[in-house]
Amino acid sequence: MSLEVTNVSGGYGRVPVLHDVTFSVPDGQVVGLIGLNGAGKSTTIKHIIGLLQPQTGTITVDGLTLASDANAYRGSIAYVPETPVLYPELTLREHLELAMMAYGLDQQQAWHKLDRLLAMFRLDNKLDWFPDNFSKGMKQKVMIASAFMTDAQLFIIDEPFTGLDPVAVHDLITLVNEQKARGAAVLMSTHVLATAQEYADGFVLLRDGQVRAQGSLSALRDEFNLPNASLDDIYMAMTQEV
């Protein structure tokens, strides 16, 4: 079991944003983290990647916790943030080399993987450019390439579909499916429900910092008593509950 979030409450100050959140992402599965603006998706992700500490509860990745071995824990997670984090003074090549160092990757092997990733995202002729000047989608592709050159056990992708062109969305899905096949776990926060329904194996529906429901589409249909409903229908039903 790759990612286990167990009874996590937490947030930014004393008043918790997350309340007793429990879910898991098994190896070889893609789980969609779904919820309205402000439901707590990014806050959940910040707890998993260690930017925030839970007030109560535990988070493990392949049995590791941040407290037991911070380096191994962080090294087992590849994170694609919603807003790309880029340094104005570094070229694309330097960004990638920095990420290789941070993950302790073998440079030759990493560049071998990057040859394909950069060609896929049409960035292969831009290694000496400054990504800070790239378009929004191009910046996102830099973050995706940096994440997918690693052999992480858990991939966390925050709202991947909104800034990418349709070809890039297709390419990202290909990369996610390859990681699934390799046995990695993928947690994906998104508002693009039709795409999530098509590609995720399971879903965690967050509402007001709590897990309202979780499981496969068919489990959610049972839970909401909506046979044949789409993820979009289930989401709308959740938002209309009192």
Ligand X SMILES: Nc1ncnc2c1ncn2[C@@H]1O[C@H](COP(=O)(O)OP(=O)(O)OP(=O)(O)O)[C@@H](O)[C@H]1O
Footprint of ligand X (CB under 6 A):
12, 17, 35, 37-43
**Residue 189 identity (one-letter amino acid):** S
Nearer to ligand X, 123 or 187 (CB): 187
∠ at Cα 229 (28, 32), nearest 5°? 30
> What secondary structure does DSSP assign to 129-165, as a single string?
S-GGGS-HHHHHHHHHHHHHTS--SEEEEES-SSSS-
Phi, psi of 111 (to 5 degrees): -65, -35
**Cβ-count burial of 140 within 10 angstroms (0-12 exposed, 13-18 middle, 19+ buried)?**
buried
Nearer to ligand X, 39 or 152 (CB): 39
- Name 137's Cβ contacts closer than 8 Å, sequence gap at least 6: 163, 164, 165, 168
To the nearest whole angstrom, how small is the minimum distance from the Cβ of residue 206 to ligand X?
7
To the nearest whole angstrom, how small is the minimum distance from the Cβ of residue 113 to ligand X?
30
Nearer to ligand X, 46 or 95 (CB): 46
- Token readout for 2 is 């790759």
To the nearest whole angstrom, how small is the minimum distance from the Cβ of residue 81 to ligand X?
11
Nearer to ligand X, 11 or 202 (CB): 11
Nearer to ligand X, 3 or 120 (CB): 3
To the nearest whole angstrom, how small is the minimum distance from the Cβ of residue 18 to ligand X?
8
Alpha-carbon distance 4 to 62, whole Å?
A: 8
To the nearest whole angstrom, how small is the minimum distance from the Cβ of residue 41 to ligand X?
4
Q: How far apart are the first and last CA of the chain?
A: 34
To the nearest whole angstrom, how small is the minimum distance from the Cβ of residue 183 to ligand X?
28
Alpha-carbon distance 232 to 180, whole Å?
A: 24
β-bridge mates for residue 154, sequence order: 77, 185
Nearer to ligand X, 35 or 54 (CB): 35
Supply the DSSP symbol for 35: -
**What ranges make up the beta strands (E) of the chain?**
3-10, 18-25, 30-34, 56-61, 77-80, 154-158, 185-189, 202-207, 210-215
To the nearest whole angstrom, how small is the minimum distance from the Cβ of residue 37 to ligand X?
3
Nearer to ligand X, 43 or 214 (CB): 43
